[in-house]
Amino acid sequence: MQTLQTTSLKITDNQLWILDQQALPQQKNWLSAGNTDALVGHIHALRVRGAPLIGLSASLLLALQAEQGMSRDDLQDSLLTLRAARPTAVNLMNNLDRMQEALAAEDYVTALVREALRLVDEDRQLCDNIALAGTPLITAGSRILTHCNTGGLATAGVGTALGVITRGWQQGKVAHVWVGETRPLLQGGRLTAWELSESGIPCQLITDSMAAALMADRQVDAIWVGADRIAANGDVANKIGTYSLAVLARYHEIPFYVAAPHTTLDRHCPSGKDIPIEQRAAGEVTGVAGSFGAVQWAPENIRVHNPAFDVTPAALISGWVLDTGLITPEQVAEGIFRPQTN
């Protein structure tokens, strides 16, 4: 396959490599994702993470496996294993539905390679279109709060919410970004803080528990987050802690925007209650793990609740900024995300 490089994925010498998002920003380690088990392991460990990136990495691996001569039956098994790697972000399932169709083609090798590369190209374009739709909503001098990581690391392009923020800053409209650290795995504190710093965008890191006081102090003008799945009624699953920010935003009368590609939309999922929420290991909450050894601060054997995502009800969202443009609460109430029957 042709060589390819995004911020956190690359293909060289017909091999898939991923930038280890657990080691960032201290170490920039490219790890091989040479087979299904290796990639699933990286996805479980969040070395590969972010809704769009998970789907793209799985699609690229399937294309490479096809080129390497894997049989159609084995490709089918690989696809099903990859599809089950993480349950919440629907981009994985949506991308693999397209790969499934390619696998049915007579010349499935060519079809799978073409489809995987098309998905990567499309994702870049989707990010650009989201940024185009989102930046007009940013008012001059904005101080924006964001959560988790939705940048180039999580996509093939400029990112979703972070793409809007970056383009808004390039247009001179973003004065400052508040970066929520995003407990327990610190995607904000490690990844968003790194991406913004690399781009020279003025930002400050806060713990998640500081957001309310900042808003009360009138230091946040808007909140922009990404999404892992948008249900047909507009409810949004995103990184745990997103819902708290939406509640706070409503109380403090701050606009709360969700930015995502249409590949994050699940028209067949009626509401947020139907979105499967991934539960993760206790060790992520009882201490820190990562690439630097584990440090536990909680008592041994403490019981832990560790959902990776929460659901923000549509009623708390000011706008859904998709690659197709801004979707308003009125349009969502009228059913724009529901399956079209004719």
Binding residues for substrate: 49-51, 86, 187, 238-239
Site string for ligand MRU, 254-283 (x = CB under 6 A): ------------------------------
Chosen residue from 16, 19, 24, 49 binding ligand MRU by CB under 6 A: 49
Stretch that binds ligand MRU, among 62-70, 101-109, 154-162, 286-294 (CB under 6 A): 154-162
Chosen residue from 134, 152, 180, 226 binding ligand MRU by CB under 6 A: 226
Cβ proximity to ligand MRU: between 33 and 111 the closer is 33
Close Cβ partners of 139 (under 8 Å, ≥ 6 residues apart): 173, 221, 222
List beta partners, residue 222.
Answer: 144
Q: Is residue 46 a contact residue for ligand MRU (CB under 6 A)?
A: yes
Question: Per the annotation, where are the binding residues?
Answer: 49-51, 86, 187, 238-239
Binding to ligand MRU (CB under 6 A) within 283-312 occurs at 308
Cβ proximity to ligand MRU: between 76 and 324 the closer is 324
Chosen residue from 50, 188, 255, 272 binding ligand MRU by CB under 6 A: 50
Burial bucket for residue 293 (CB in 10 Å: 0-12, 13-18, 19+): exposed
- Cα separation, 201 vs 193, in Å, equals 10
Q: Is residue 89 a contact residue for ligand MRU (CB under 6 A)?
A: yes
We find the least distance from the C-beta atom of residue 149 to ligand MRU, in angstroms, to be 6
Cβ proximity to ligand MRU: between 123 and 221 the closer is 123
Here the tokens at position 61 are: 């691996």
Here the tokens at position 258 are: 């969700």
We find the least distance from the C-beta atom of residue 305 to ligand MRU, in angstroms, to be 16
Stretch that binds ligand MRU, among 10-18, 47-55, 77-85, 132-140 (CB under 6 A): 47-55
Binding to ligand MRU (CB under 6 A) within 100-139 occurs at none
Q: Of 223, 249, 195, 230, which is closest to residue 324 (Cα–Cα)?
A: 230
Cβ proximity to ligand MRU: between 49 and 83 the closer is 49
Strand duo 142-146 + 30-32: pairing? unpaired
Chosen residue from 94, 100, 155, 192 binding ligand MRU by CB under 6 A: 155
Close Cβ partners of 254 (under 8 Å, ≥ 6 residues apart): 215, 220, 221, 222, 223, 248
Q: Of 263, 292, 257, 291, which is closest to residue 120 (Cα–Cα)?
A: 263
Cβ proximity to ligand MRU: between 103 and 165 the closer is 165
- Cα separation, 298 vs 275, in Å, equals 30
Close Cβ partners of 219 (under 8 Å, ≥ 6 residues apart): 143, 178
Largest Cα span, the chain: 62
Determine how many CB atoms are found less than 10 A away from the CB of residue 20: 19
We find the least distance from the C-beta atom of residue 301 to ligand MRU, in angstroms, to be 26
Cβ proximity to ligand MRU: between 46 and 215 the closer is 46
We find the least distance from the C-beta atom of residue 309 to ligand MRU, in angstroms, to be 6
Q: Is residue 148 a contact residue for ligand MRU (CB under 6 A)?
A: yes
We find the least distance from the C-beta atom of residue 10 to ligand MRU, in angstroms, to be 19
- Cα separation, 122 vs 94, in Å, equals 13
What does the DSSP 8-state code read for residue 188?
A: I
Here the tokens at position 84 are: 């089950």
Instruction: Tell how many helices (H) and how many strands (E) occur in the chain.
Output: 11, 17
Q: Are 309 and 270 in contact (CB under 8 A)?
A: no
Give the active site residues. Answer: 228
Chain residues that interact with ligand MRU, rule: CB under 6 A: 46, 49-52, 89, 148, 150, 154-155, 160, 187, 226-228, 238-239, 308
